[in-house]
Amino acid sequence: MILFHPTKGTKKAVAYYRHSDREKQENSISIQRDHVKKYAARFNIEVIFEEFDKETGLVGPDERIGFGRLFDNWIKNHNAPHFDFVLVFDESRWGRFQNDNAAPHYEYLCNEQGKYVIYVENGISPEDQKTQLGFKLHKSIKRHMAAQFSLDLSNKVYHGCVKVSQQGFSAGGSACYGMVRVLLDVNKNPVGVLKKGEHKAISNARVTFKPADDRTSETVKEIFFLFDKGMRLGEIAKLLNERGIPSAKGGKWNGEKLLRILTNETYTGTRIYNKTWSRLRQKTRSNPRTEWVVKEEAFPGIIDRELFFRVQERLYWMMPSRWKQGVYAIRKAHRLVQDDLRKLLNEYNVSEDYVCYFLRQFPIVYAVGISPKPSIQCWCFTIPDELRRYQFIIGIGVSLNRKDPVDRIFVIPSHELGLSNISVFSENDTEFSKYKIEEDKIKEKISHLAQAVLAQ
């Protein structure tokens, strides 16, 4: 605390300063103090106390310790020494409030106690600031400009983060369990692994991720593997806890912690940004998938994408509401497909006795479309062993959000299913365009397959 007394005055004041990072000004508070001192000397005001905050940017009043002390110890405290004014450099140092009513609200709290907030930058006397209509309008404009500065800065930071994320680099935040942050130099060459709490020192350096290549990475692999093989979340958590393997924050594993691992696409080497919105100190909300910034193959992953999609498919069906919707949609799609096949068989003059047998044998499977990434649909087909005897299998992609649930139709070569009997199609994969049947070709393709079935 530093007190200064220009001359014996008739008015007293408390000064409030808030640090500014604008233009990297490290002497911000000292500069504000000099302006306040000159203003106080000019208008014969005695400053009896100074309060300050080191916090800068869009920091709420509750997080500004000095601001809180100013109100608790001086403005609202009837035992505090008498004073008339709160001297502040300008409206931005009082606060860059996004709510237009916030700044005048805190001024009103001061006025209620007989104290007036005076801004010294403009050089206007305290009496004129209290009475002149022109200054009151000027003050409202300056408040708006202070709020707009934060909004503009936030937008610039956001677009910068989007650009960095589109290039596959980190725009901030820590590494997830099993991954580490890697510092890259200006030429994008690896420099080393950043420890928790460490940050890059050069603005045009970049940060990316990679597997930690330790027990945590192996644990992530095992969690995906065990769940893909059919083990329940509770069983996986019990197994890991019995082995003494700590979770990400050192505690015991449970279903919720496992879900955070199993739904994190970062483990496939994908960089995702803007999943949530929390700018300008407002309440955090989740963004729709269409607003996510997604960069695939941005860095080495721990698991492959096919495994991730299979896991998402199983997780999808674990939700009772989704399961019921999915079962209804598949049943509806099945009825529609069966009706179309019956009409097709009638064209071949197949007897009614054989139709039921044919429909049971026809190589067709269903999968509900899911969206593991923005604006991209994915289907995971599970093929029974008995259908492998056919050269091709029909895959029906089902949608929950359409009156006609039949969304996509695929012709899947059985020889490409592999040992897992699982085939995953995503709209941005080469297999999607390769095996998807265009609408004008559907009847022709199914007719060929129907003839192959009839010939057996």
Mean pLDDT score, 364-383: 75
Label residue 2 by pLDDT band (50, 70, 90): very low
For the stretch 81-130, pLDDT in tens is 999 999 999 888 887 777 777 888 898 899 999 999 999 988 888 888 87
The fold of the 11-151 domain, in CATH, is: Rossmann fold (3.40.50)
**DSSP β-ladder status, 406-413 and 392-398:** antiparallel
- What pLDDT is recorded for position 12? 93
Contact partners, residue 28, CB within 8 Å, separation at least 6: 17, 19, 20, 21, 22
CA angle 250-199-252, nearest 5°? Answer: 5
Quickly list H helices, 167-232: 215-228
List of E strands, 200-339: 206-211, 271-273, 276-277, 285-286, 293-295
Joined together, the tokens standing for residue 315 give: 């997780």
Angstrom CA distances, 423 to 24, 175, 399, 400, 419, stand at: 55, 31, 18, 20, 10
Q: Are 270 and 295 spatial neighbours (Cβ–Cβ below 8 Å)?
A: yes
User: Which run of H or of E encompasses 425?
Assistant: strand 422-426
User: Would you state the pLDDT for residue 1?
Assistant: 43
Contact 349, 396 (CB under 8 A): no
257/141: higher pLDDT: 257
Query: How is residue 453 written in tokens?
Result: 């079935």
Confidence of residue 149 (pLDDT cuts 50, 70, 90): low
Rank 2-11, 52-61, 262-271, 339-348 by mean pLDDT and report only the highest: 262-271
Average pLDDT score over residue span 271-281:
68
Point out the least confidently predicted range of 31-35, 140-144, 370-374: 370-374
Residue with the bigger pLDDT between 9 and 165: it is 165
pLDDT in tens, 430-445: 767 788 888 788 878 7
Cα(192)–Cα(423) distance, integer angstroms: 39
Q: Is the pLDDT of residue 242 over 50?
A: yes
SS3 121: coil
End-to-end CA distance of the chain: 95
Edge-first strand order for the sheet with 190-194 is 190-194, 179-184, 206-211
Residue 103, pLDDT score: 83
How many helices (H) and strands (E) would you count in the chain?
A: 14, 17
What does the alpha-carbon distance between residue 39 and residue 298 come to, in Å, rounded to a whole number? 56
For residues 406 and 333, the answer to whether their CB atoms sit within 8 Å is yes
Check residue 296 and give its pLDDT.
Answer: 84
CB 237 within 8 A of CB 273: no
- At what angle are helices 320-347 and 352-361 packed, to 10 degrees? 140
Q: What are the residue boundaries of the structural domains of the chain, listed by start?
A: 11-151, 170-212+273-303, 320-455
Say which residues have a Cβ less than 8 Å from residue 174's Cβ, sequence separation at least 6. Answer: 181, 196
pTM for the whole structure: 0.47
**What per-residue confidence (pLDDT) applies to 87?**
95
Return the residue matching tokens 């691992």: 261
Q: What is the mean pLDDT of the chain?
A: 80
Instruction: Walk across the sheet containing 116-119 and list its strands.
Output: 45-53, 11-18, 85-88, 116-119
3-state secondary structure of 331: helix
**261-264 contacts at long range (C-beta below 8 A, 24 or more positions apart):** 261/177, 261/178, 261/220, 261/223, 261/224, 262/223, 262/224, 262/227, 262/311, 262/315, 263/312, 263/315, 264/176
Length of the chain: 456
Report the DSSP pairing between strands 85-88 and 116-119. Answer: parallel
What's the burial of 12, exposed, middle or buried (CB within 10 Å: 0-12/13-18/19+)? middle
- Hey, which of 24-33, 106-115, 202-211, 344-353 has the most confident mean pLDDT? 106-115
- Residue-level pLDDT at 112: 92
User: What pLDDT does residue 423 have?
Assistant: 74
Q: What pLDDT sits at residue 259?
A: 85
Per mean pLDDT, which range of 2-6, 371-375, 397-401 is the poorest?
A: 2-6
* DSSP character string of 344-408: HHHHTT--HHHHHHHHHHS-EEEEE-EEEETTEEEEEEE--GGGGGSSEEEEEEE-SSSSS-EEE
Per-residue confidence (pLDDT) for residue 4, from 0 to 100: 47
Distance, CA of 301 to CA of 299 (rounded, Å): 6
As a whole number, mean pLDDT of residues 269-281 equals: 71
Phi then psi dihedrals of residue 364, to 5 deg: -140, 135
Which tokens is 35 given? Answer: 């302006």
